[in-house]
Structure 1
Amino acid sequence: MTSYSSYTDQELLSLLKAGDRMSFTEIYNRYWMVAYRSAIQVLKDEEACMDVLQDVFVWLWQHHEQLSVHSLKAYLLTAVKFKMLNVIRQGRLKDIAYSKIKVDEYEAETNLEVKELMRMIEEFAETLPSQARQIFHLSRYDHLSNKEIAHKLGISEKTVKNQINISLKKLKSNLGKMSLWCTML
């Protein structure tokens, strides 16, 4: 009997489409760590990462007959990316958009998924009204407290807090719209 570890991704996908459980197990063993690393870099929460991976791999098994995948690794990483966006959109991690994305510039440059998410957040920030954009940048990029921002801009701390909350809600909604086509994952 041939070891499944010697099969190519395409061979494993063909077997998976036919309902072969061992091919699924091999796919899981081959790619769960890569998928986990991708998720943990963004979410910084092991439980949330494990939930994302479980959702992706359960979906893969439940829909194995309909799969039309060219690159298994790319498909799984994309599925993880959109599941993470769903986690962010649904607010399952408080202020995940920035408070948990603590990636240094080198990691951001070397990690395509994080770069893409950061690009979407930066594009979103540019669409905010002037004062909201300034508050958002001071809070999330300069890491100033609400009190420091209020003092710097000459506005109330409550205004700063409200503007940040409104901006984060809009961000979650915006990210959700971008990933809407992938909610079935």
Structure 2
Amino acid sequence: MGANSTYTDSELLTLLRAGDRQAFEEIYRRHWKNMYRTAYLVLHDDAASTDIVQDIFVWCWEKRAIMQVASLGGYLSMAVRYKVANYIRREKVRAGFFAEAEKLRLPEGAHEFTLELKELRSIIAQFTEELPGRCRDIFYLSRFEYLSNKEIAARLGISEKTVENQLTIALKRLRMRLGSFSAWMVLFL
């Protein structure tokens, strides 16, 4: 395969599902530029746009065997728009958090408090990354994007019961991990 590949996107998708690396590379060559352009037109951020495109392709490779896509180009285009929207939402939440934190001038002697909070954030971020894929996605959408169980279920195409079960598992593991931070858990959980 290469620049002169005569495979259709549908044929490439079939080969991709079978684990054909060359098909994946051809899909990447065909679509990355339009995907990047779509992200960049909204974000005006080279690094973020590149990361979004790479994340989508990593996901496609990891989920290749179960991908159910009618139109590859349409799917990739929608994936970019979805990721861009999430990026913007996440950045707004982060900016809002820091703006609020800036308003709260900590009294003297609060240095220990800020160190514990920083350590807690680090532990939770590492914990989130270590969760199995579906559980991590559900936990992230619940705790960082503030989606309801119903919204998570709709977004991921799973039942609300599955969302509840996965959150229960994640929160139980987090409680065990946090141990000494039990007072802080109330704020996060």
TM-score by length of 1: 0.50
- Structure showing greater relative contact order (alpha-carbon pairs closer than 8 Å, 6 or more residues apart): 1
